[in-house]
Amino acid sequence: MKPETVGIQQLKNFCEKNAIQLDGRALILLQRYAELLVDWNAKVNLVSRNDIQNVWQNHILHSLSIFSLLRIEAGIRVLDLGTGGGLPGIPISIVRDDLKITLLDSIQKKTAAVQNMVDSLALSNVEVITGRAEEIAKKNNEGWDVVISRAVAPLVQLIEWSKPLLKHPSEKKIHDSENRMWETPLIVALKGGDLENEIQEAKKKWHPTDIQVFDINLDRTEPREMQNKKIVLVKL
């Protein structure tokens, strides 16, 4: 079976088990996005070229894995910090078109590629911004409820970049899979590996209200490469 076919079936299983509505339009858009990402990655280094052929399992499904943990209310403003090739922001925006997604990257050739993809997919709930986090924080007065990132930087650096971008006060409600309530502003980081030293360093420097690490649990739909991946929630 082709990797694309396997990945699409895993995605369908994941959405069904996590009560995510994956209608025909969303699936078509995700398929088109996968094609665009592969095409653009041949021109601009957006994601690792070693696993671009596993785009469904290693990138799209990984991006949507946050919904195995979090129930996010409509209308929340989400900033994808260091979006690269539009991950995780574009898959999230397709599945949840009721969220307001901003894709931010400091490298202009990456945001140009991402803007082209957003335009091709006609994603009306997405904006693309080029710039460094500290520069954007000075220009944007509204702020975001949630900053999400995927393997962008150590937590201590991610918190430093995110703090001035987050909206205070926000206090919108997000529930995790164990029905614990998290109030925004919130940082959501998709990370891998041993995070203990990273977390201790972040706690020592920033004294966050809470940091919790969750295994990604896709109910046996995850590829082997995702089994050591984590979702980290940081409440400042």
How confident is the model over 44-81, as pLDDT tens digits? Answer: 999 877 777 788 888 999 999 999 899 999 999 999 99
SS3 content of the chain, % helix, strand, coil (to 5): 45, 20, 35
Query: Average pLDDT of 93-101?
Result: 96
- Give the pLDDT score at 219: 57
Is it the case that residue 168 has pLDDT exceeding 70?
yes
**Two tokens at 103?**
């894709």
User: How many C-beta neighbours within 10 Å does residue 145 have?
Assistant: 23
Residue 217 has pLDDT above 60, yes or no: yes
Q: Model pTM?
A: 0.93
Residue 41 has pLDDT above 80, yes or no: yes
Q: What is the pLDDT of residue 139?
A: 85
Sign of torsion over alpha carbons 58, 64, 70, 76: positive
- Structure confidence at residue 164 (pLDDT): 94
